[in-house]
Structure 1
């Protein structure tokens, strides 16, 4: 089974939630560990399958097991016939998050929470809070053998990694993403129809070229290090935190200087800094910076006691890709009091730009995977926003973000 956005597989192997093997994600939360220990100690017949009811936000972190994110999915669900049994109107809706080793049932049916804000961490149960649906076949998937009539065939769904949905939600904004599910589903199908028909894919399903193209996308045939979590990247969160702390530290130092007299400000070090500042024109420093790494440029400016315009550093931060430095984080010059109007955090742009280069952030596996998926998402975003524009229905979302119109490097 393959994701309708990124084209990667949703599972590595068939797993049973009735075995004694702990699902890897359990290790990341002590409460989940406690629940697993209780479950493993209780002997029942037939053996109950392990499950935890949670909220979708409960898994908003990078799992310690690199591939674990690929097991969590959502579905854009279509009710083809009005069902009094489920009281679901004939329209598209977004399911909650489910765990595919526990979400599978017989005949390729999937279980997923009805509530988009819910998450079933483990094995789902076919009850009033759970949808049973057939996944709409992705071009990479084998043909499913559905029963002709089992009472559930009116529910179908486009299955997507939950992390891939996070990227869709981020690019479109929560309001548009939740209200334009039909447009999103149509754009995803159109994109894959175009991919399958392309020469790069071999032109048709079943051809040798098609098989090679599918294998290129498949998690089974790629190094897992290149398929890390594309949305929650712990190293980026750490970098953002470090940059925020630098701003707070600089603020504390600045307030401390106000208590010093003029003699303190004319120390030998300050005199040296001022001497350098007036002897080397700013234009020359920019020319020197062209031949230095960003880290060395930052150190040079510290030695000169000078700074570059904040845009010098901001232009070197690919915020379309590293959106942790675009959504809420603003530089301290964004307002007169040093705080941005939206209450976002502040951070040192020079530190961020220098560390992105020094640490090789753009080569991190999670960042590379994010770039790959965002490049596939760009046409979908353009299609959906185009449909909104044609219908002349401006939908302003305070949480929406500028869409990604250009292919990322």
Structure 2
């Protein structure tokens, strides 16, 4: 029985490491939250999200919604940080010539949406504090849509999108740390730095198998970063950056930790966060109409749906002109457009930034969450249509070629 349980656990873990499974769970959690928040039992959903738990003496008596955003998402950012470091040390970002286009695409895909949001909100007196909401790309959701939409998409498109999203995540982390930190408590921050150095020493000396040593130190670093005023998810990235990576891309501590924690991130952390973040109530038609007219909603939707692809395509074109770099082998303009649309799926990180930007801001926060859900859905559908139409065209071309070949043989 123990062996069967162990095999079942390993099988579940392998499934959760796939982009498709993570994206499906994320979407299911968001749909469940949205349905519950708009059902006759909406009050129970709000009570659950507002339920407080944790030691008040350590300032950790947080609501379940806050635990999901501050605590569980630290696991997501830890896994993303491990992936970031591996990309910089042994992946696409190691070679500047190969990295220049996806890096430029990421920068353009963050700059243009922010400018669109400001352009929409500044004249209308909207909340400019939300400028960063449409800059983020959801790695898990975007890759899941790519995997589901087209099995024949070139491998170079997935690599390009992954690199773009990784750089996007890194810049989003910097934005969260700089733009959404109200004040700093230096003593907890210094203590976190000391423990972070201790974690780095332990992971090099004791290895990743000594989780009983590493986990308490990691939790302590998270708690101190939270107490310092910096958003606690940044602790996940800082911890990940201390983990050694093999330059040859072989077995290393970062790979082992990513393999171990990715199922927790994809199967628990991100879906639970989505469940508490996506419960937007549409109580009354007037409320919906007001939300859709709000410059905050318009700026976020326009930024994600239009700004992302415009930024990705524009920055890539400019980088190619300035550097002479070409698109990766196997990628075409249609694939680049698909990458731009997929990067408009903001979801997880966009929802987090919206919570930070509009905390206590009344309806603006609800409108921002609605805009993220709407824009991410539009971007996902548009990308799916583009990818499937490309696959259909390719299939038709292959069939036509075969038909011509048979006709030639018959002649």
TM class by smaller structure: under 0.3
Question: Which is helix-richer, 1 or 2?
Answer: 2
Question: Using CA pairs below 8 Å that are at least 6 residues apart, which structure has the higher relative contact order?
Answer: 2
More strand by share: 1
